[in-house]
Amino acid sequence: MSRDPRYDILFEPVQIGPVTARNRFFQVPHCNGMGHALPEAHAAMRAVKAEGGWSVVSTEECEIHPSGDLSPYIEARLWDDDDIPPLALMTEQVHAHGALAAIELTYNGPTSSNLYSREVALAPSHQPLKYGYPHQARAMTLADIADYRRWHRNAAIRAKRAGFDIIYVYAAHDLSLPMHFLQRRRNQRSDAYGGSLENRVRLLREVLTDTKEAVGDTCAVALRFAVEEFLGEAGISLDGESRDIVGLLADLPDLWDVNLAAWYHDSTSSRFAGEGAQRPFTAWVKQVTNKPVVGVGRFTSPDTMVRQIRDGVMDLIGAARPSIADPFLPRKIETGAIDAIRECIGCNICASGDMTSTPIRCTQNPSMGEEWRKGWHPEHIPSLPKPSRVLVVGAGPAGLEAARALGQRGAEVTLVDAARELGGRVTRESRLPGLAEWARVRDWRLVRLQTMANVAIYPDNRLEADDVLGFEAEHIVIATGARWRRDGFGRSADLPIPGFEAAGVFTPDDILDGRLPEHGPVLLYDDDGFYLGSVLAERLVQAGLDVVYVTPEDTVAGWTTNTLDYRHIQKRLRKLGVQIITAHELLGFAGDHAELACAWGGARRTVACASVLTVTARLPDDGLFQALAARQPAWADHGIARIDCIGDALAPGLIAHAVYAGHRYAREFDDARDPVSRRDSVPFRRRRFVAS
């Protein structure tokens, strides 16, 4: 295959100050839960992106001083010279693939925690720390400002010594001191750094100048700036001072990286924002500056990318999430393998790694975060040493990925599913409001499978134990998924809830199968706490039903704080007119009403409802596996070496868990160790600390 000439413009070099990006693909800074704690894993993850064709590969936020400690979040660090070698691991591996390495220096002031360093945080003015820690940041003196400038300059010099080609000055996401000085709500100073816009821009101008003087001979200096905070006059906005700020600094940085604040606006999930959603907010910047501009928009379509360039919106296609879902996205466009692009679905599971201080994960790309830990590559899997015949039962996310990866390894695979339409829960959930892009999990795998002559697919075939034994494959994989419980058992209810055996009780599976309550109001009981309850509420409202949303938690969809959906969900449900009752457990359903109890005091209340939709827990659909396990003595007679249960059929979880389970099965398929040895060993590399 060869590159489509329509996309040639994407592979033109771009001059950024003293360095040159070999093409227009720019992996902008993104968090990953590895940072200073797992430098080998971080370097390997970034290196794969450089190998995949990204001309610039950036770090995440990089702390420059202990008084800007971001614990418990695991970011990069350049506190002193001892932090240079871990970051040099990354630059060496990125450079080995011909890409530029960029670093995002940050000092977060009142959005720091200092939980590890125990230093006092600094801010433009006295103010509480933003993220709920019961401590305050103190107002900076002029001496503090001089210290900060020196810390930033020293960090830039260390970054240059570590081998970085582009040094970021960070003024975005409501997370960095230069932005806090810009904000009138945070900057209440009356000296030369406060008051007028020119004064509030002063620190950012000085830091840009300091950085260019310190490293600008060989390193480009980028400015990451949030043009809109959606806070009206209280924040940076297009209707306020945003355009003036860009105008005052127009050609000072070598590169403008423009986006939205806060992070939940910049990386909005696909449920609430489509590809290129930031264009209306950032397209004007190139009209103000002569320097190149990079922006983001969860770009996965090369046609959309080309439009951004030709329309003068940006010079470089920035990406975080698309580079996570497919580190080889640029290379696939370059070689004409457009159909092979593993498109980001915008679920934001990647963001949950940073939010939970754990290594990054991706629903589409199960190798993300495993490049060093397990040695997994997103494109390459070793071929099997000998031919193997495998039957995969179930074509949901786990079964599809197991079949695809096994097929890539050269196994003879038969994939069978009871449903006429493949994809399992992915297919069904992608029909819900806002989740259409999730179907990419199914579609990418089906396209790959259809190119494999060694894979046969049989939908609309329900297999029983005798059918499986009679197939006489060497290896059987059961990936039959899970079903939602109807009895109300879950995190808050240790026993079935009285009245849930009634006809008026529905499960998510009923809604996904098209069986909706005929009358409202519907009491939706969400003891799951993630996205599905709120999506189902939206679906019921679309059907014209009144919805009362009840949860035993203190907030709606609490775990979605980790995927940046939380605020959007709160606003959506209220806009739809959904009645919300938090911190209440559901005690019983009587056909025309439900009885609730306050989770914190037990006070009871009655809520009128015609039906209940219970979103609590799931049970594995493992009947076939259990039937086969009961007949294990007969396996050898049918030529069966192993039967494994994976994904939701083993332990229900996220779609990301199911995809990972399928991929892991295929990767470890030829592990010759006995089952006990496999279970007793640590299944990945760990960083070793040796006492000196």
User: Which residues are part of the catalytic machinery?
Assistant: 31, 170, 173, 266
Query: Which helix (H) or strand (E) covers residue 448, if one does?
Result: helix 440-449
Amino acid, res. 83 = D
| Torsion sign across C-alpha atoms 557, 351, 52, 226 | positive
Tokens of 375: 């040695």
What is the CB-side half-sphere exposure of residue 249 using CA atoms within 13 A?
31
Between helix 84-95 and helix 142-161 the angle, nearest 10°, is 50
CB 56 within 8 A of CB 100: yes
Query: Which helix (H) or strand (E) covers residue 137, if one does?
Result: strand 136-139
Query: Which helix (H) or strand (E) covers residue 154, if one does?
Result: helix 142-161
Q: Which residues touch 604 (CB under 8 Å, ≥6 apart)?
A: 587, 595, 596, 597, 598
How far apart are the C-alpha atoms of 495 and 548, rounded to whole Å?
Answer: 23
Q: Is 261 helix (H, G, I), strand (E, B) or coil?
A: coil
Tokens of 361: 């994960």
Taking residue 98's Cβ as centre, other Cβ atoms within 10 Å add up to 11
Tokens of 462: 């329900």
How far apart are the C-alpha atoms of 212 and 253, rounded to whole Å?
Answer: 8
Q: Which residues touch 197 (CB under 8 Å, ≥6 apart)?
A: 241, 244, 245, 248
Contacts for 379-386 with beta carbons within 8 Å, 24 or more apart? 379/52, 379/328, 381/405, 381/408, 381/409, 381/666, 381/667, 382/409, 383/409, 383/410, 384/409, 384/410, 384/411, 384/669, 384/670, 385/670
| Torsion sign across C-alpha atoms 261, 267, 273, 279 | positive
Please state the φ and ψ torsions of residue 370, each to the nearest 5 degrees. Answer: -110, 10
Beta bridge partners of 562: none
Beta bridge partners of 139: 123
Q: Which residues touch 77 (CB under 8 Å, ≥6 apart)?
A: 35, 36, 62, 63, 83
Between helix 242-249 and helix 197-215 the angle, nearest 10°, is 40
